Structure 1
Amino acid sequence: MSGVVIVGVDGSAPATAAVEWAAGDALRKDAELRIVHALDRYPYAIAGVAVAGPEDVLSRAAEQVLEAAEAVARSRQPTVRVASEVVEGAPAVVLQEQARQADELVIGDRGLGGFTRALLGSVTMKVAGQAPCPVVVVRDGPRERIGEIAVGIDDSDSCEPALAYAFEQAGLRGATLRLIHAWQVPVHAFAPEIFFDADEIHTTLHEMLRRRIAPWEARHPGVKLVEDVQNAHPVDALTGTACDLVVVGSHGRGALGSLLLGSVSRGVLHHARGPVAVVRGDARRHADEQGAGVTVA
């Protein structure tokens, strides 16, 4: 397997965590690790005042950010092929453009203000909602290896790319893949005569899961699977599971289409304690090129 794993860096602690995660995944994929820093001059632009000069402070700072990130990557994974680049422009725009060249894009979460652990930065949300390849959002902080990956599944074809990515990750890591489908009994306070047989629902949903995963199980016979059907909200089910990676799909709806993340993927990004991979529907192209799949929730 080969390709390019791109990680966006800005010198922050979450970006450092993203470099560490990306270096490990590049090693597993036998891919090149490309470290990218977006040099955004706009916040420093003042009408009539030149930002650049004989000694461009911003450019030198950008190079220092890359040097520090490269050092982290090489110390964690000395055998990984590493390249780095400074690209001028707004971070969200730069990273979305870089994602066109990547098999995977990794970024750190960047919360703002007093709700840092609850909210993600606008760059993170824009990139996760629009990048054409899988986007992994990594949080800063110690992580204990669980040996399990979780992926959300529903009964629509839109979860296929996420399934492909999750099966690939589980195979590369030798991890168990937990297949999560969450359902909730509809509120029927005004129609109490409607009866739901929980056992029958569970049986039907497990059958749906088996049909959905059968092609991927055939491609990845070595991956251990756990079927997990829960009577819970999807966000609660996915974020309440202890795992090394949560894989979700992007189901944006409405006039803005791909500019939006679906409510489940957005909720998981906000509240998950560990790394989250967001896989859009058009990531199928990447899966087909690799001869594997991509899993979406």
Structure 2
Amino acid sequence: MRAFIVGVDGSVPARAAIRWALARATSSGAPVSLVHVADDEWGAVGTRLIDEVDAGAKQRLREELEYARALAPDVAVDGELRTGSPMVELAAFSAPDRMLVVGTHKTGFHYGRAFGSRSLQLANLAVGPVAIIPESASRMRRGVVVGVDDTPAGGAAIDLAADLACDAHCELLTVRSSNAHVPFDVDSDDELRDWQLRRDDEARGLLAAAVARARRRQPGIAIRSRVVRRPAGAALNELSRNAELLVIGDSRRPEAQQGSLGAVAYEVLLNLSSPTIVVHAPTPTGPANHRMQTDRVKGDAHVAG
């Protein structure tokens, strides 16, 4: 990653996101930008209150910059104040070599509850990697877990997970679910068992390819593989509960697209249990990429030193 972009709002989860980004920036030498977005819904309440909101936003960004620079004086940290829809404005910074980082109150202890909707929105809008950091993220976590599939986004997730495991000097766990609806009427338990065993074999084949890819990229890392028969989203959240990171691909589409968050990624983010990075498929080059960049909604921006 050439840069980390952190969404800040003065909350406890946002501070967790700052700490997470600074830790990685310290080891990589990448700069960190703190972005605070003043929600433009305040525009309906009058000019005087808008001015008060703007003043408060500037003060909050100053406080977050002071906090970050005190934690990591050797990291280049700057800030930017924007006005607009918060997740749309953050997504405008998205790029394959920039990681967007946001905090969340979501912990996974209330399974199925619709927490973290803003991080879901950001993952939908972004075309580069997005890190969602729970406020309870612990330094005692260890290991990187990656969900495996056969899509371009899945391949990109394996590459990033291998790099992160190498940087953290920890084990990489590759996970593939063989869970699926039975596509035919089952006449016997033997028939169902044979079908499930075939699914397991297919999952092992995908894991073998993923391990080979990770080893080519980072030959020195320790790698384990695991086939699970539970739904992928629930299994990944459970297996990563004590992990340093969970890495998942965004969807089953062939290239990065806004609004392309897949079912597994949605399930994982809805029930987040660990720091999680959503990786999108490689961004197309040429005219398609130019259209993607120019179509984004831009708000008013103010740089803070």
**TM bucket, shorter chain:** 0.7 to 0.9
- Whether 1:71 aligns to 2:69 is no
Paired residue for 2:79, among 84, 88, 99? Answer: 84
> Could you say which residue in structure 1 is the equivalent of 2:203?
205
Deviation at 1:143, TM superposition (A): 1.3
d(CA) in 1 for partners of 2:205 and 2:252? 27
The root-mean-square deviation of aligned C-alpha atoms, in Å, is 2.7
> Could you say which residue in structure 1 is the equivalent of 2:228?
230
> Could you say which residue in structure 2 is the equivalent of 1:182?
177
- Whether 1:96 aligns to 2:113 is no
Deviation at 1:200, TM superposition (A): 5.9
Deviation at 1:225, TM superposition (A): 0.6
> Could you say which residue in structure 2 is the equivalent of 1:216?
214
d(CA) in 2 for partners of 1:190 and 1:78? 64
d(CA) in 2 for partners of 1:227 and 1:272? 21
CA offsets 1:56-105 (integer angstroms, 9 cap, x no match): 32222112222232233233333211111111221122101122485100
Give the 3-state SS of the residue equivalent to 2:145 in structure 1.
strand
> Could you say which residue in structure 2 is the equivalent of 1:40?
39
d(CA) in 1 for partners of 2:283 and 2:219? 23
Deviation at 1:215, TM superposition (A): 3.0
- Whether 1:276 aligns to 2:276 is yes
Q: Structure 1: where are the runs of 5+ without partners?
A: 286-297
CA offsets 1:250-282 (integer angstroms, 9 cap, x no match): 1167xxx63142111011111122211111113
- Whether 1:4 aligns to 2:6 is no
> Partner letter of residue 8 of structure 2?
V
- Whether 1:19 aligns to 2:18 is yes
Q: Equivalent residues in 2 for 1:261-272 (5 A)?
A: 261-272=261-272
Distance 1:235 1:284, change over 3 A: farther
Distance 1:179 1:238, change over 3 A: same
CA offsets 1:128-179 (integer angstroms, 9 cap, x no match): 1121110001111251423201110023344111111111211111121110
Contact 1:5 1:33 in 2 (8 A): yes
- Whether 1:240 aligns to 2:235 is no
> Partner letter of residue 274 of structure 1?
S
Give the 3-state SS of the residue equivalent to 1:99 in structure 2.
coil
> Could you say which residue in structure 2 is the equivalent of 1:140?
135
> Could you say which residue in structure 1 is the equivalent of 2:250?
250
CA offsets 1:185-213 (integer angstroms, 9 cap, x no match): 64378322424346665444323322233
Contact 1:20 1:73 in 2 (8 A): yes
Distance 1:184 1:35, change over 3 A: same
Q: Comparing 86-95 with 142-151, which one deviates more in the overlay?
A: 142-151
Contact 2:152 2:281 in 1 (8 A): no
d(CA) in 2 for partners of 1:61 and 1:97? 23
> Partner letter of residue 234 of structure 2?
D
Deviation at 1:7, TM superposition (A): 0.2
Contact 1:14 1:139 in 2 (8 A): yes
Give the 3-state SS of the residue equivalent to 1:45 in structure 2.
helix
Identity value in percent: 26
Give the 3-state SS of the residue equivalent to 2:224 in structure 1.
strand
Q: Equivalent residues in 2 for 1:93-172 (5 A)?
A: 93-100=88-95, 103-109=98-104, 118-172=113-167
Contact 1:151 1:179 in 2 (8 A): yes
Q: Structure 2: where are the runs of 5+ without partners?
A: 286-305
Give the 3-state SS of the residue equivalent to 1:229 in structure 2.
strand
